[in-house]
């Protein structure tokens, strides 16, 4: 029964005097019952907007809050301010070249003011691997290499650890005590026996600096800036990037063996390659792992930075007996650097924001939960170390031989299908890199020009000096990392099958069929007007100040001609049955070698 029916049933039983009151009561009761049975929602837009705004305001406050900071400032507790803070990415290695004719007069007081570039190879003896490295460096027109500890014999009974310590000592002594080696100079240190150069030094330097700029922009966003007191400055303070990258090592798919749960294996950054670079099984198998761990076979950086690093490595290897002590030391240094960086990041970030970012999967946190390295207050752990994840500079062959192809970039059919053949899920259009074009590097097969009466050495020989005229960078085979779509500058062959890999890959390098002619071209290009002009300007614009070409320096300051190091290894280097280099036509090898000051280093003047 509804409300109206109920009241009607009571209507006949109400006495007359109470009719008016009864009707009033009936009307009120009817309205009450109707409202009880037919409730309608009442909109409250102001209250909803207010609650939403309040929630948004509280969320903003939580995101902006840095929370309560602990007493420890890790940036100060573990010294992070670099004593040499000039940015290596801003160094001008290749200075503008003066355009001079043969009849022009050189300006007075010529000085080489830009930083120099040095190539260092630790090697105690001649081997086929060393001669291949030297040959490829010369063909690519690198500065005269410096051999560290070449010809040095340790006492009988010396162990592998002793030789390793001696090698690290030699590298540090070269960095610390070589005359005219400046803190802002750039040094490339590579394994003396397992390296092939593929691209010229100007490509290496340019890519090194570009990689630093890209990485430092990300580090600046992740860690921010810091202001420190500097009484000697006008404003009394200095604002600088908290953490930066200055030195680049080769990257590997494996960490130092048997290291376990160490920061050097656990806390290092994730690879910059996509998480599915090798398909859905990426990072589940050794060969399908993205490179992210440090490998010491190749490193580039400024002298000031490398001195700090190798001083610490030398202290470590002198205290720990291990054949691969330098590898272990560098791995742990890299890990502890990243561990301290993460402690400082967590100190200065919002706890709520960190939790939120972890929840939605965009956190930049470094894994430090399962490691607890021993840290000493006041000890430096910041060295500006990073690795080349994508093989822009260095390609490491450990568990990675299947990642590469030798591509001729004018073969569009091959370049368009090779990524599919390697099952690369995120395909990129494979094109010859801009910095490897003939427009930027010139044609590597073009012979230098000489005047009619100019002396050239080695003497010209139509057979020995033949180079093709229809080749350039776009139609020679270039080793390419298919998964990163990069053409590395140099290749480090230190895999388990490295002896077989060395032989096979050497014969695949783009210059191998013409290696002897290209090496003779390099030797010959160091004479004549252009070479003399470069020498007056301090050697090649990116060479070290010692000058010289066509040979090798030792860390003792001695000059050695190429045949003195590589005579007897012609079959391993050239495989052409044309005999000892420089004596193919019955002529003796050699000529005068001068330094930047015009002083005779070796040989006799004509």
How would residue 69 be classed by pLDDT, with cut points 50, 70 and 90? very low
What is the rounded radius of gyration, in angstroms, for the C-alpha atoms of the chain?
Answer: 35
Q: How far is CA 245 from the centre of its chain?
A: 9
* Confidence at residue 332, expressed as pLDDT on a 0 to 100 scale: 97
Q: Supply the pLDDT for residue 420.
A: 94
* Res 42 pLDDT > 90: no
As a whole-number percent, the residues of the chain with pLDDT over 90 amount to 58
pLDDT tens, position by position, 435-444: 999 989 999 9
The β-bridge relationship of strands 237-241 and 293-302 is unpaired
Exposure string of 452-463, with b = 16+ CB inside 10 Å and e = fewer, is eeeebbbeeeee
Helix runs in 145-200, H state only: 160-177
- How far apart are the C-alpha atoms of 449 and 337, rounded to whole Å? 51
534: tokens are: 């470069």
Say what the pLDDT of residue 596 is. Answer: 47
Note the pLDDT of residue 586.
64
Residue 10: what pLDDT? 45
HSE of 487 in the Cβ direction (CA atoms, 13 Å)? 25
Are 140 and 491 spatial neighbours (Cβ–Cβ below 8 Å)? no
pLDDT above 90 (res 324): yes
Of the ranges 5-14, 56-65, 527-536, 571-580, which one carries the lowest mean pLDDT score?
5-14
Q: How many CA atoms are closer than 13 Å to the CA of 50, on its beta-carbon side? A: 4
Q: Hey, is 146 helix, strand or coil?
A: strand
Q: What is the pLDDT of residues 78-103, one digit of tens each?
A: 999 887 878 999 988 876 555 555 55
The pLDDT-based confidence of 251 (bands split at 50, 70, 90) is very high
* Highest mean pLDDT (candidates 26-40, 45-59, 503-517): 503-517
pLDDT at 604: 47
Report the alpha-carbon distance of residue 314 to residue 172 in Å, rounded: 8
Residues 172-200, mean pLDDT to the nearest whole number: 94
Question: What confidence tens digit (pLDDT) does each residue in 457-510 have?
Answer: 888 889 999 999 999 999 999 999 999 999 999 999 987 777 788 999 999 999
Helix (H) or strand (E) holding 548: none
State how far the Cα of 330 lies from the Cα of 309, in Å rounded to an integer. Answer: 8
The upper half-sphere exposure of residue 104, i.e. CA atoms within 13 Å in the direction of its Cβ, equals 10
H or E element that contains 420:
helix 412-421
Q: Tens of pLDDT along 326-353? A: 999 999 999 999 999 999 999 988 877 7
| Range of weakest confidence among 416-430, 442-456, 500-514 | 442-456
Q: Write out the H or E segment, with its range, that includes residue 479.
A: strand 478-481
Residue 594 DSSP code: E
Give, in degrees to the nearest 5, the angle at Cα 174 between 168 and 178. Answer: 165
pLDDT of residue 421: 94
**N-terminal to C-terminal alpha carbon distance within the chain:** 130
* pLDDT (average), residues 169-194: 94
Rounded Cα distance between 543 and 144, Å, is 8
Strand, helix or coil for residue 534: helix
pLDDT for 70 = 47
pLDDT reported for residue 100: 53
Comparing 604 with 226, which gets the higher pLDDT? 226
Nearest CA to 552 out of 77, 116, 24, 125 is that of 125
Partner residues linked to 481 by β-bridges: 404, 486
Region at 149 (left for phi over 0; alpha for psi -120 to 50; beta for the rest): left
* pLDDT score recorded for residue 553: 92
Residue 375 tokens, joined: 């840290």
Q: Which residue has the tokens 């190749």?
A: 298
Could you read off the pLDDT of 554-598 as tens digits, one per residue?
999 899 999 999 999 999 999 998 989 988 866 555 555 555 445
Length in residues, the chain = 606
Mean pLDDT, residues 393-405 taken together: 95
What is the pLDDT of the chain when averaged over all its residues? 84
């Amino acid at each position: 029964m509804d409300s109206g029916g109920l009241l009607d049933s009571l209507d006949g039983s109400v006495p007359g005097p109470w009719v008016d009151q009864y009707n009033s009561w009936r009307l009120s009761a009817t309205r009450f019952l109707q409202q009880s049975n037919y409730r309608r929602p009442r909109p409250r837009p102001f209250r909803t907007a207010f609650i939403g705004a309040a929630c948004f305001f509280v969320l903003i406050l939580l995101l902006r809050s840095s929370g309560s900071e602990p007493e420890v400032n890790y940036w100060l507790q573990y010294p992070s301010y670099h004593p040499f803070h000039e940015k290596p990415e801003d160094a001008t290695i290749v200075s503008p070249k003066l355009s001079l004719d043969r009849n022009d007069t050189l300006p007075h007081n010529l000085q080489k003011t830009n930083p120099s570039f040095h190539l260092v190879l630790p090697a105690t003896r001649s081997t086929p691997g060393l001669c291949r490295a030297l040959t490829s460096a010369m063909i690519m027109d690198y500065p005269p290499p410096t051999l560290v500890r070449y010809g040095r014999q340790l006492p009988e009974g010396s162990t592998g650890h002793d030789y390793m310590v001696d090698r690290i000592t030699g590298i540090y002594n070269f960095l610390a005590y070589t005359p005219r080696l400046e803190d802002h100079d750039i040094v490339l240190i590579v394994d003396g026996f397992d390296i092939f150069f593929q691209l010229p030094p100007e490509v290496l330097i340019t890519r090194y600096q570009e990689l630093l700029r890209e990485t430092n922009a990300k580090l600046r966003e992740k860690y921010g800036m810091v202001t420190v007191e500097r009484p000697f400055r006008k404003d009394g303070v200095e604002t600088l990037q908290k953490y930066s990258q200055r030195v680049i090592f080769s990257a590997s798919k494996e960490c130092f063996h048997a290291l376990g749960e160490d920061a050097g294996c656990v806390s290092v950054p994730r690879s910059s390659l996509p998480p599915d670079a090798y398909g859905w099984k990426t990072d589940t198998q050794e060969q399908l792992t993205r490179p992210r761990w440090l490998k010491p076979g190749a490193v580039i950086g400024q002298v000031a930075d490398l001195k700090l690093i190798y001083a610490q490595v030398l202290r470590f290897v002198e205290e720990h007996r291990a054949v691969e002590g330098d590898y272990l030391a560098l791995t742990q240094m890299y890990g502890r650097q990243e561990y301290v960086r993460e402690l400082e990041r967590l100190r200065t970030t919002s706890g709520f924001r960190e939790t939120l970012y972890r929840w939605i999967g965009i956190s930049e946190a470094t894994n430090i939960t399962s490691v607890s390295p021993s840290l000493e207050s006041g000890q430096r752990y910041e060295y500006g170390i990073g690795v080349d994840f994508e093989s822009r500079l260095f390609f490491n062959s450990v568990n990675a031989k299947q990642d590469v192809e030798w591509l001729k970039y004018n073969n569009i059919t091959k370049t368009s299908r090779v990524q599919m053949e390697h099952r690369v899920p995120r395909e990129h259009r494979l094109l010859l890199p801009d910095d490897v074009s003939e427009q930027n590097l010139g044609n590597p097969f073009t012979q230098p020009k000489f005047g009619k009466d100019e002396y050239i050495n080695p003497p010209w020989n139509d057979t020995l000096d033949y180079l093709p005229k229809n080749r350039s960078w776009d139609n020679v085979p270039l080793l390419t990392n298919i998964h990163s779509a990069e053409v590395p500058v140099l290749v480090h062959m230190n895999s388990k099958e490295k002896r077989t890999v060395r032989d096979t890959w050497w014969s695949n390098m783009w210059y191998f069929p013409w290696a002897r002619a290209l090496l003779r071209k390099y030797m010959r290009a160091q004479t004549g007007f252009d070479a003399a002009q470069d020498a007056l300007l301090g050697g090649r614009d990116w060479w070290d100040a010692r000058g010289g070409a066509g040979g090798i320096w030792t860390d003792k300051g001695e000059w050695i001609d190429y045949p003195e190091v590589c005579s007897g290894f012609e079959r391993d280097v050239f495989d052409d049955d044309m005999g000892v280099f420089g004596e193919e036509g019955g002529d003796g090898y050699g000529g005068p070698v001068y330094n930047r000051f015009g002083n005779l280093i070796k040989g006799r003047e004509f």
